[in-house]
Amino acid sequence: MIKMSENEKTPAEMRILTAEPEQARYIRKKSSAKSAFISIAALAVAAAYQLPPEKLKTVTDTLQCSVSAVSMMSAKLDTLSGSELTAFFGRAFPVRNTNESSETAYTNIDLVKMRENDILMLSEGSRRMPSSANEEAFSADFLPPPEADDSTSYPESFSTDRKVTAICYESGQGENYIDLTKGGQIRNVTLLTSEEIRSEVSELPDFRIKLNAPENEPQILIMHTHTTESYQSAADVGADPVCRTTDSKKNMTAVGNAMADVFEKEGIRVIHDTTVHDHPSYNGSYDRSRETVSAILEKYPSIKIVLDVHRDAIERESGDIIAPTAVINGKSCAQVMIISGCDDGTMDMPDFRQNLRTAALFQQYMEMSFKGLTRPVLFDYRSYNQDMTHGSLLIEVGGHGNTLDEAVYAGELAAKGISEAIKSELSAEE
């Protein structure tokens, strides 16, 4: 295994999640009056017309088309791209799909057994920034003013009075959820039909992986755009958890190391790049990670798969934290979610379907090998530099409510499932 490294960082969590029993809302905090007006108007329409669940999808699609058209005509809509507004409105009126949630063992933390609205299946920690070009526009409200000292401006912990609830996300129900043949699901929040997606993922991606390749021919690159994302330690449970750290033994580097070790043991050559792209400045993280990946791909053209490994951040309006958790082989494990981006015609991702095929394949083998490990693949209008290979995916390993041990264990299991997918379906012929 080839290891690479560089610098460091620490920012604040970026999303506000609001989940109500009957009407789920996903509202992005924004100081802009226009954005606030749009948010309030969207929610008001849903309430005023008392829309039944079966009508919400129609309204969603109508709003998506309208917002895309408006964004193209007005350059003053807070610099948001059509895809970003589409993503926002697509969640303002979600189809009322419901996920069964089950209680899991979680030491010293109050548990709730409940039916979670499918809004909690979204990756709050994925930053909802379809392209790094608009990153500053989306994060401006959460970053320090220009004159602030970047090295000390980001909080590294959340308050002790926020309850952490372990929730096991199971299969979603509704037309947006697509069952995969061998196990697992895709959650489709794009305008592609379920039939189109089923047809696409019935095919394998167009690359193959060489097993037991020479060390100078790595096949997989593991990296982290938000390297400083971190978890609770065992001592943090019920105390004052840390959500960001530059300590590589506690942040995403630790999860990446666990995954890389598994791939190597399975005969799949890997590079784990530990460059810190989100410190001292959060802005431009995806630009910097793109430069890193580009340089590595140029040096090692043998790489077919790029895994950008993150952790999620799921919260309720109250501020309580959700830890996506399963019990596998008698051991508590963070749940894993793949994000595969879709191009709305403005994102320069003409081959996004190849990435979706890769995501579906990995999802099936992870879930088939370790039932309960995965949350549905999120297929959405996002970029995350996924145009760079046909195997470029973002993987959320647990959330900021999970423990580091749960996340490392999840990384190991995810890598085992992906390895099985590669050896069974993508192995290059000798």
> pLDDT value at position 60?
54
> pLDDT value at position 249?
93
> pLDDT value at position 381?
94
> pLDDT value at position 196?
97
> pLDDT value at position 38?
47
Measured CA to CA, the distance from residue 266 to residue 21 in angstroms comes to: 45
> pLDDT value at position 380?
95
Measured CA to CA, the distance from residue 276 to residue 256 in angstroms comes to: 13
> pLDDT value at position 48?
61
Q: Provide the pLDDT confidence category of residue 315 given band limits of 50, 70 and 90.
A: confident
Q: Is 358 helix (H, G, I), strand (E, B) or coil?
A: helix
> pLDDT value at position 25?
28
Average pLDDT, the chain: 73
> pLDDT value at position 317?
80
Range 163-179 average pLDDT: 91
Most confident of 33-37, 56-60, 249-253: 249-253
> pLDDT value at position 67?
52
Contact of 77 with 69, CB cutoff 8 Å: no
Which is more confidently placed, 271 or 66? 271
Q: pLDDT tens digits, residue range 248-299?
A: 999 999 999 999 999 999 999 999 999 999 998 888 999 999 999 999 999 9
Backbone φ, ψ for residue 403 (5° rounding): -85, 160
Residue 142 confidence (pLDDT) above 60: no
> pLDDT value at position 319?
78
In the chain the domains, ranked by start, together with CATH numbers, are 2-10+144-426 (3.40.630.40)
Alpha helices in 272-312 (DSSP H): 285-299
**Comparing C-alpha atoms, which of 155, 154, 322, 157 is closest to residue 240?**
157
Residue 158 confidence (pLDDT) above 60: no
* Separation of CA 88 from chain center: 16
> pLDDT value at position 41?
58
Q: Hey, what are 402's tokens?
A: 């999970």
Q: How far is CA 149 from CA 143, 145, 204, 210, 343, in A?
A: 11, 9, 48, 47, 37
Q: Provide the pLDDT confidence category of residue 66 given band limits of 50, 70 and 90.
A: low
> pLDDT value at position 162?
72
Lowest mean pLDDT among 253-262, 283-292, 314-323, 403-412: 314-323
Range 305-332 average pLDDT: 92
Which is more confidently placed, 373 or 171? 373
**Comparing C-alpha atoms, which of 277, 273, 283, 261 is closest to residue 228?**
277
Lowest mean pLDDT among 113-117, 204-208, 301-305: 113-117
What stretch of H or E contains 70? helix 53-73
Q: Provide the pLDDT confidence category of residue 47 given band limits of 50, 70 and 90.
A: low
Range 10-34 average pLDDT: 29
Measured CA to CA, the distance from residue 334 to residue 311 in angstroms comes to: 10
Contact of 157 with 236, CB cutoff 8 Å: no
Q: pLDDT tens digits, residue range 111-134?
A: 232 223 333 333 433 323 233 333
**Number of other residues whose CB lies within 10 A of the CB of residue 11:** 27
> pLDDT value at position 120?
35
Residue 78 confidence (pLDDT) above 90: no
Residue 15 confidence (pLDDT) above 90: no
Q: pLDDT tens digits, residue range 343-378?
A: 999 999 999 999 999 999 999 999 999 999 999 999
Contact of 412 with 262, CB cutoff 8 Å: yes
